[in-house]
């Protein structure tokens, strides 16, 4: 398996594009894009790796600024379920944890929510390849 940062951005865009509620109306907006605007390029890899979620201020990867435990990051956990950092994302669903849920990537490929979960977990657990 070889998941890269660009795959993660495609997953986040696909999730947002399928969401019942528009991410632009959320406090964090499209936090993974420059200017929190989906029409803008994604955050630079290092900004994603070491930054915080816009409007919320929690580290994107890890539970602190040193990214010591990326599998406990708000970014990952809030895609899986509601938690101490807030409700499951995207607000109102559909969620990657919904049985049978799939998402269309910007390259036209459909991918299951289960596969997105597994791919993000692999990416985080393997040093988040660029």
How many whole angstroms separate alpha carbon 111 and alpha carbon 118? 11
CB contact at 8 A, 30 and 44: no
How many whole angstroms separate alpha carbon 102 and alpha carbon 55? 28
CB contact at 8 A, 104 and 18: yes
Whether the model pTM is above 0.95: no
Give pLDDT tens digits along the chain (130 positions).
Answer: 799 999 999 999 999 999 988 887 888 889 999 999 999 999 999 999 988 889 888 888 876 656 678 888 888 988 998 777 678 999 999 999 999 999 999 999 999 999 999 999 999 999 999 9
């Amino acid at each position: 398996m070889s998941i890269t940062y660009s795959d993660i951005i495609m997953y986040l865009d696909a999730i947002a594009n399928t969401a019942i509620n528009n991410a632009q109306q959320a406090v964090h907006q499209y936090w993974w894009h420059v200017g929190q605007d989906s029409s803008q390029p994604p955050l630079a890899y290092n900004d994603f790796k070491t930054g915080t979620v816009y409007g919320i201020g929690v580290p994107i990867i890890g539970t602190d600024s040193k990214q010591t435990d990326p599998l406990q990051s708000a970014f990952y956990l809030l895609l899986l379920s509601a938690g101490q950092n807030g409700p499951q994302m995207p607000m109102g669903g559909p969620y990657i944890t919904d049985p049978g849920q799939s998402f269309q990537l910007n390259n036209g490929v459909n991918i299951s929510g289960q596969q997105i979960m597994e791919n993000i977990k692999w990416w985080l657990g393997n040093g988040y390849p660029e």
